[in-house]
Amino acid sequence: MALLNKDRLFPTDPSVRDIARGLYAEVANLPIVSPHGHTDPRWYALNEDFENPAQLLVAPDHYVFRMLFSQGVPLEKLGVPRVDGGPVETDPRAIWRVFASNYHLFRGTPSRLWLDHTFETLFDLDQPLSAATADVYYDSIDARLKQDDYRPRALFERFNIEVIATTEGALDDLRWHRQIAESGWNGRVVTTYRPDSVVDPDFEGFRDNLAAFGELTGCDTGSWRGYLEAHRRRRAFFRQHGATATDHGHATADTADLSQEAAAKLYAAVSTREATESEASLFRAQMLTEMARMSVEDGMVMQIHPGARRNHSAGIFARFGRDKGFDIPGRTDYVQALKPLLDAVGLEPNLTVIVFTLDETAYARELAPLAGAYPALKLGPAWWFFDSPAGIRRFRELTTETAGFYNTVGFNDDTRAFPSIPARHDVARRVDCAYLADLVAGGQLREDEAVELAHDLAYRLAKNAYRL
């Protein structure tokens, strides 16, 4: 028995499935380029054992625990730490059993695909996970995690990762990246510049962060010019640690292009007192354009990830804090929102701005038309809630007709769930090959073109777009 169907996610018509199989065979074993994600650089620096099955697969994965919570399992029973330090389950086997006995809840979700892929390919498990097999699973996985060849660097190599990007805040000292570089290990782990904490006036401790930002860079963050210079230096510092990209996670895609005088005045306001809502919005919007301008100067690829309404549940936020599966997408405009930035730098041939969305209605209506016109703009892949098989398919169906394939940038796994990385790339490769096979079968593409595109989508586009 096996958990995985070898033809999973391929078209079911035999002749089309054969085309998909052929394309997939070409790309199944290509190295993984992971240009955007949230794995912890400390893992690669220290190369210690992963703790236990629950810590590896349940606790860090908000896809997993929010689904269990939605069906009535208290987060405490899953070991999610409380803000007030109150008691939560600490026995990993107990957590694992709760997860196992509720595994049916994941039917039809991508988590199920990723987990089964991990169970079978990484841990050689072949019986379905359930209450009945919970302990067999726990013991098998736990035993493996104690082996040297299941440590982070060994897994990195086993996963055939050519390069992985992590994401660090502007104030991070990048010590783990330095340690990796100095260790002599030849795995390529690069950082990404994520300056939200010094760009968003609503970020906790914003003004303190500005002070720290000044100290760290030796710039006068009391002035607009000094503040911008601090960004320039910090970007250079991140580039020294491998960064080729920046990342910006705003609630909206709003951009602005104020005069430098007006921007300086706005900075003076938000850096010295509580910002009003409209000041905070405008400052974030202005900073996207400033970051884009710096990208024209220094060549860093800019990523804009808008659309999440963070911490939707006041109760969960109070009890468990951020990143607990309660970030909910909302409608997101791009056409008006990006115009100021695009008017400023959108025709720059050497700039790359990669835009993501949590509002799929923008794919065909706004994003593909924009990316199919502006040289600076590229479309990030199906993201977060939408990196499912059906979500990746919708992305292709709704963007290709207008933007083609070459205004897209390959796949992002965007995950902190390290063992799921090969599974996620495998799903993306399969779904893309299935899409290409359908185009070939429908007479929209020749097979030799599909082979070339399969390589592009699985490997080359990401490498080129992110300049890796």
105 scored as a contact of its own copies (CB under 8 A): yes
Of residues 199 through 258, those in contact with its own copies by CB under 8 A are none
Q: Residue from 18, 93, 252, 406 that binds its own copies (CB under 8 A)?
A: 406
Alpha helices for 81-205 (secondary structure H): 92-101, 110-123, 134-145, 152-158, 175-183, 196-199
Stretch that binds its own copies, among 7-15, 165-173, 189-197, 258-266 (CB under 8 A): 7-15
* Residue of 364, 447, 463, 464 interacting with its own copies (CB under 8 A): 364
Q: How far apart are CA 434 and CA 177, in angstroms?
A: 37
Alpha carbon distance 313, 317 (integer Å): 6
Which of 53, 346, 380, 422 is in the footprint of its own copies by CB under 8 A? 346
428 binds its own copies (CB under 8 A): no
Asked if 385 and 394 count as a contact pair (C-beta separation under 8 A), the reply is no
With respect to its own copies, which residue has the nearer C-beta, 176 or 459? 459
What span, in angstroms and rounded, lies between the C-alpha atoms of 393 and 437?
A: 12
Q: 85 vs 443, which CB is nearer to its own copies?
A: 443
Q: Which of 55, 109, 140, 179 binds its own copies (CB under 8 A)?
A: 109
Q: Does 125 bind its own copies (CB under 8 A)?
A: no
66 CB-near residues (< 8 Å, 6+ apart): 324, 325, 326
Q: Which stretch binds its own copies (CB under 8 A): 37-45, 282-290, 389-397, 413-421?
A: 389-397
Residue 4 or 46 having the CB closest to its own copies: 4
Min CB(66)–its own copies separation in Å: 5
Q: Which residues of 230-255 are buried (b: 16+ CB within 10 A; e: fewer)?
A: bbeebbebbbebbbbbbbbbbbbbbb
Please select the residue that binds its own copies; options are 89, 183, 385, 463, rule is CB under 8 A.
385
Choose which of 374, 411, 459, 466 interacts with its own copies (CB under 8 A). 374
DSSP strand pairing (308-309 vs 328-329): antiparallel
The least distance separating its own copies from the CB of residue 456, rounded to whole angstroms, comes to 10
> Contact letters (x/-) for its own copies, 61-90, by CB under 8 A?
-----xx-xxxx------------------
Does position 114 bind its own copies by CB under 8 A?
no
Can you point out the beta strands (E) in 183-335?
A: 189-190, 193-194, 245-248, 301-304, 308-309, 328-329
> What residues have CB less than 8 Å from 39, skipping those under 6 apart?
164, 166, 415, 416, 418, 421
Q: Considering the complex, what minimum distance in angstroms separates the CB of residue 455 from its own copies?
A: 13
Say whether residue 438 binds its own copies (CB under 8 A). yes
**Residue selected from 82, 365, 455, 460 as contacting its own copies according to rule CB under 8 A:** 365
Contact region with its own copies (CB under 8 A), list: 45-53, 141-149, 162-170, 337-345: 337-345
The verdict on 407 binding its own copies (CB under 8 A) reads yes
In the complex, what is the shortest distance from the CB of residue 421 to its own copies, in angstroms, rounded to a whole number? Answer: 19
Q: Residue 445 CB, nearest distance to its own copies (Å)?
A: 6
Among 58, 316, 462, 465, binds its own copies (CB under 8 A): 316
- One of 158, 265, 446, 467 touching its own copies (CB under 8 A): 446
Task: Indicate the residue among 11 and 41 with the shorter CB distance to its own copies.
Answer: 11
CA angle 336, 274, 330 (to 5 degrees): 35
Cβ 263 to its own copies shortest distance, Å? 19
**CA distances (Å), origin 303, targets 18, 271, 426:** 36, 25, 23
The span from the CA of 210 to the CA of 283, in Å, is 14
Give Cβ neighbours of residue 265 (< 8 Å, ≥ 6 apart).
Answer: none
Angstrom distances, CA of residue 382 to CA of 118, 286, 311, 431:
21, 26, 22, 12
Nearest distance in Å: CB 293, its own copies: 15
Q: Does 312 bind its own copies (CB under 8 A)?
A: yes
Judged by CB under 8 A, the number of residues near its own copies is 92
Q: Which of 449, 451, 455, 460 binds its own copies (CB under 8 A)?
A: 449
Distance in angstroms (rounded) separating the CA atoms of residues 138 and 93: 7
Residues 279-308 that bind its own copies (CB under 8 A): none
C-alpha count within 13 angstroms, C-beta hemisphere, residue 234: 30
Alpha helices in 299-336 (DSSP H): 314-320
Distance CA 356, CA 358 (A): 7
Q: By C-alpha distance, which of 438, 429, 364 is closest to 395?
A: 364
CA distance 463 to 208: 37
The reply to whether 315 sits near its own copies by the rule CB under 8 A is: yes
DSSP state of 458: I
Q: Which is nearer to its own copies, 229 or 452 (CB)?
A: 452
